[in-house]
Amino acid sequence: MELDLSMSWLIGLYLFMLAAFTGYEVIRRVPSILHTPLMSGSNFIHGIVVVGAMHALFNADTTLGQLIGFIGVVLGAGNAAGGYVVTDRMLAMFKPSQPGKNDKE
Amino acid sequence: MLMLLVELSGLVAALLFILGLKRMSSPVTALRGIVLAGIGMLVAVIAAFGYMANVEPSAEPRLLVNLFLVVLALALGGAWAWRSGKRVPVTDMPQMVALYNGMGGGAAAAVAAVAMTGSAYASDPLHITVTLLGALIGSVSLSGSVIAWAKLDGRINSAWRFEGQKVLNGVVFLIAILAGALVAAGIGVGYGMPVLFFVAALAFGVLLTLPIGGADMPVVISLYNAFTGLAVGLEGYAIQNPALMIAGMVVGSAGTLLTVLMAKAMNRSLANVLFSNFGEVSASAQGEVAGQMTSVDASDAATTMRYASSVIIVPGYGLAVAQAQAKLYELVKLLQAADVDVKFAIHPVAGRMPGHMNVLLAEAGVPYDLIFDMDDVNDSFANTDVALVIGANDVVNPAARTDKQSPIYGMPILDADQAHQVYVIKRGQGKGYAGVENLLFYGENCDMVYGDAQAVLSNMVQAIKELAA
> What are B312-349's pLDDT values in tens digits?
999 887 787 778 888 899 999 999 988 899 999 988 77
Q: Which H/E stretch holds residue B357?
A: helix B356-363
For chain B, give the percent of residues with pLDDT over 90: 30
**What distance in Å separates the CA atoms of residue A49 and residue A79, rounded to the nearest whole number?**
9
What is the side-by-side strand order in the sheet with B421-426? B371-373, B341-346, B310-315, B386-390, B421-426, B446-450
pLDDT in tens, B77-103: 999 999 999 999 888 888 899 999 999
Please tell me the pTM assigned to this model: 0.79
Whether residue B158 is predicted with pLDDT greater than 80 in this model: the reply is no
Give the end-to-end CA distance of chain A in Å, rounded to a whole number: 51
CB-CB under 8 Å, B84 with A32: no
Furthest CA-CA distance within chain B = 84
- Helix (H) / strand (E) element for B342: namely strand B341-346
Least confident of A2-11, B133-142, B257-266, B457-466: A2-11
pLDDT winner (highest mean) among A46-55, B250-259, B297-306? A46-55
Does residue B194 carry a pLDDT above 50? yes
More confident call, B298 vs B139: B139
Distance (Å) from the C-alpha of residue B227 to the closest C-alpha of chain A? Answer: 10
* Residue B414 pLDDT > 60: yes
Chain B hits for A103, CB-CB cut-off 8 Å, are: 28
Going by pLDDT thresholds of 50, 70 and 90, the confidence category of residue B224 is very high
**Mean pLDDT, all residues of chain B:** 84
Residue of B340, B302, B342, B324 whose CA lies nearest to B463: B302
State what percent of residues in chain B have pLDDT above 70: 90
In this predicted structure, what is the pLDDT of residue B164? 77
B82:A82 CB<8 A: yes
pLDDT attached to residue A81: 96
Positive or negative torsion for Cα A92, A94, A97, A101: negative
Cα distance from A64 to chain B (closest Cα, Å)? Answer: 7
Pairwise CB contact (< 8 Å): B41 & A103:
no
Q: What is the pLDDT of residues B433-469, one digit of tens each?
A: 556 778 788 888 888 888 888 888 898 998 888 887 6
CA atoms within 13 A on the CB side of A19: 28
- Summarize the confidence of residues B67-71 as an average pLDDT: 95
Do residue B56 and residue A93 have CB atoms under 8 angstroms apart? no
- Contact between residue B431 and residue B393 where contact means Cβ atoms under 8 Å apart: yes
Q: Is the pLDDT of residue B124 over 70?
A: yes
The pLDDT, as a whole number, for residue A99 is: 44
Banded pLDDT at A102 (limits 50, 70, 90): very low
Whether ipTM tops 0.95, in short, is no
What CA–CA distances, in Å, run from B70 to A47, B198, B232, B238?
A: 15, 23, 19, 20
Residues of B classed as catalytic: 394
- Decide if pLDDT at A1 tops 50: no
Model confidence at A95, in pLDDT bands (50, 70, 90)? low
Residue A85 with chain B: CB contacts under 8 Å: 81-82, 85-86
pLDDT in tens, B11-21: 999 999 999 98
* Span B190-215, average pLDDT: 87
Name the residue in chain B with its Cα closest to that of A49: B232
Determine the distance in angstroms separating the CA of B202 from the nearest CA of chain A, rounded to an integer: 15
The set of residues, in sequence order, having a beta carbon less than 8 Å from that of B360 and lying 6+ positions away, is B90, B91, B315, B319, B320, B325, B351
**pLDDT at residue B115 above 70?**
yes
Chain B CB contacts of A82 under 8 Å are 81-82, 84-85, 96, 99-100, 103
Closest residue on chain B to A30 (Cα):
B25
Q: What is the mean pLDDT of residues B193-207?
A: 92
